[in-house]
A and B are shown apart, each in its own frame.
Chain A
């Protein structure tokens, strides 16, 4: 049962344009959502997160949008740069009394920025 889904395995975007990566989830208990970037042979690097009490969070070129009714989140990267080429994972968790429960990851989207 894939609780977090990234339906686009790959995405190519022209440098300078907007990159939009999408993620859907099925578990309504999730209350914390994150995006990670991963280069080969490295661990995932945290990019941005959003709590379920918000619908938008911005950090520099990165903005995450959360639509709870649709169980959908998206990551916008503006403007896209060649260094953004990587695999992007969305992840979701439940925050319990002890902290963040396990992360449930999507399968990833490979973003390629075309110079």
Chain B
């Protein structure tokens, strides 16, 4: 069974640009979650999508947004990039009541 896949592995942008990160969940999983791990900080919850709907979002500004497609894949968009957005962005998927399983992340670097 294929795990959660994320693309790209690395992404380099400059301040003010926009970034798009993609996630394919484990087959059959309907929920997708996004987390940020900035340097020196822990894993922080960003967004939760289930059945195409945004169910919850963490304490992040509105320039962090995303969506979930009918095939349950998801993308995370970050607009007006700032230096502090440099981080590892992790995607996870799960079924109802089951553990979340993570991909290996996208490393976003802002120059």
Binding site for B on A (CB under 8 A): 32, 34, 36, 41-46, 49, 89, 95, 98-108
Q: How far is the CA of A43 from the CA of B104 in the complex (A)?
A: 4
Interface size on B, residues (CB 8 A): 26
| Contact across chains for A49 and B99 when beta carbons are under 8 A apart | yes
Q: How far is the CA of A49 from the CA of B92 in the complex (A)?
A: 16
Contact of B94 among A36, A43, A44, A99 (CB under 8 A): A99
B102 within 8 A of A: yes
Which residues of chain B (39-60) have a CB below 8 Å from chain A?
42-43, 45, 48, 50, 55-56, 58
| Contact across chains for A99 and B50 when beta carbons are under 8 A apart | yes
Closest to B44 in A: A105
Closest CB in chain B relative to A19 CB, distance in Å = 21
Q: Report which residue of B42, B90, B97 has the largest number of chain A beta carbons within 10 angstroms of its beta carbon.
A: B42
| Contact across chains for B100 and A104 when beta carbons are under 8 A apart | no
Other 5 A-B pairs with CB < 8 A, given A49-B99, A100-B97: A44-B90, A100-B94, A101-B48, A102-B56, A102-B58
